[in-house]
Structure formats: structure tokens, C-alpha cells
Amino acid sequence: MAGLEVAVVTFPSAQILDVTGPLEVFSSASRLVPGAAYRTQVVSSTGGQVLASSGLSFGTTALRDVAEPVDTLVVAGGRDMDGACADEELLGHVRRLAGSARRTTSVCSGAFILAAGGLLDGRRATTHWAECQQLATEYPQVSVDDDAIYVRDGDVWTSAGVTAGIDLALAMVAEDHGARAAAAVARHLVVYLRRSGGQAQFSTMLAAQAAESEPVRDLLAWLPDHLTDDLSVPTLARRVHLSERQFSRVFKAEVDVTPSEHVEELRLEAACRLLETTSHAIDHISRTCGFGAPETMNRAFRRRLKTTPGDHRRHFGHLAAE
């Protein structure tokens, strides 16, 4: 599949990473993947220089000069969404290009532009977690998923905040050229192969970064690399030189879950990544992630994720299927 036109729609006060993240994925794929030839352009209502929210100015092509069809339409998000959503020329051209595009996508608050243009009516969608409620309130005809990294509903894809645009673009490269091609691009960009669309916007490790106590922060940084160790409360309490009771109280106050819950969440996230990106046997993954017996991991998946490891791999494990 070669020669795919990608148009990234932007506007004044757009977030620069919403624009450049997908661009880097597509341009890297064109260099690294045999047969891939994405032709990218950045477009805006009037063309010319656009000032991003970061203060960086960059050149764009006028939307009126973009010929149909484009293969992939990407709409960036940004700070002044009210202004962008009130730009009838912008909305009109987005609707025009979306009408013939193979897929229409948005990054972060770019979903508001798609919604304002009527392109999300009756569809599932997501946006940055801090703006999901606003999207649902302003556009009740849209079914908003407030926790997904990205959502695909037919030929319309929407993604969460900022760096999720990279996840989204990698998923599209995987669709076009296979998961191994996407993996090559991810390695080049030094990012995870992908966080699947079904994964939460807040990972366990990300949420834990809010901890204020230095011993707890150090422990949280240590845990992901030691999932097969004894991570019981008595062992962890000794590691931070606290009594079990004091450790449990401090940990719950800092992280908002119990130590045992946090450890299980870390192990689940690690298992999900391996199920999605490798063909390792489930019993091997169970041991590698510290669950021990596969039955223990299976119970954790059913209790917390309402699925099984096998079903998770079948739904998200594109790499393992190749």
C-alpha cells in the first residue's frame, strides 16, 4: 500500500505535538518500511504561518487548496477550541475532505472539531481525559469513552491527549503495513510499540508519580522491574523501613490504593503488554509478570478487566498474530 496522502489539520494555538507526533510516525514509516510512502502535508483555514500554543510558528497549506481525496485526515487539538469550532471555513473543509477520506482521525481536543462538524454523531469517541465530560455535555449525540487511549468507530478514529496521537498513528501504520512495520517505527522513535486503544489513559505507573513521600516514590520506581520478587506487604514495609501498619497507611494515602492492589495492577499492565506484543505462551507471561500460576493471572484478569488473557490477546494482540 503506497502513496497514501495524509493531511494534518491545524489552527492558531494548536498543540505542536498533536501535529508533529503523527507526522513523525508517518515520515519514519516512509523511510523504514518497504512499500510505505506516506505523503504528508499540514493544512489550515488560510494557509501560511500558524502560531502553535507553545510559541512555535510553522508553515501550512490552505485547506481550499487540498484536493480530494486524501487517504487519512488528521485533526489536531489545541488551546483555542472555541475559535476553531466556530470557524465555518475550517469545518466545511474538514467535512469535505472527510467525505472521501479512507479514515478521519483526531488527536486530543481535535475531537471537538469533528463533533462540531457532525462527524461524530452516533459514534463512539474519546479525547483528553480532562475534556471528556465537556465533549459529552456539548455533543450529547456522541458516545464518549472517557478512559481509552484511542477509539475506532468504523472509519473514524479519535485519540486521547497529546502523545496518544503517536499511539494512534502507529495503529494506523499497523493497519496499513502490519504490526511488525509499526514495531520498527516504534523502535526508531524509542516509544512503546503501542498502547492499545483499550488501555487506560492513566497507567498505574503514571498515576503513581503523584506520590510525595521520597521512600514511597523510590519504591514505586523500583517495583516495575521486580515483578517476580516477593512483593508482599511485610517485605515491602521492610524495604522502606516502616512497620506493616504504618507502611500500608502511608502507601494508601500517597497512591490511593493498597500496596497489594498496586502490585496487581502493575502485573496486569505488564501482562497486557506482553500479550499484545509477543507470542509468548500464557504460562510464561504469568511467571514473567509475577503471577506464578496461569490460574492466578486468569482470576486477576477476570476480576479487574472482565476478560481473560486469551481474549485480551485475541482482541489486541496484532503482533502475535503475524
**Which is it for strands 48-51 and 57-62: parallel, antiparallel or unpaired?**
antiparallel
Nearby residues of 133 by Cβ (< 8 Å), 6 or more positions away = 144, 146
For the chain, report the end-to-end CA distance as a whole number of angstroms: 17
Q: Measured over all CA atoms, what is the biggest interatomic distance in the chain, rounded to whole angstroms?
A: 68
- Residue 10 identity (one-letter amino acid): T
Question: Crossing angle for the helix pair 244-255 and 214-222, nearest 10 degrees?
Answer: 80
Helix (H, G, I), strand (E, B) or coil at 42: strand
Helix (H, G, I), strand (E, B) or coil at 223: helix
| Helical ranges in 117-243 per DSSP H | 132-138, 164-177, 179-189, 204-208, 214-222, 233-239
C-alpha–C-alpha distance, residues 140 and 111, integer Å: 13
C-alpha–C-alpha distance, residues 235 and 217, integer Å: 16
Task: List, by residue number, the catalytic residues.
Answer: 108
Q: Return the C-alpha torsion angle 68, 72, 75, 76, nearest 10.
A: -130
Of 97, 99, 119, nearest to 9 by C-alpha is 97
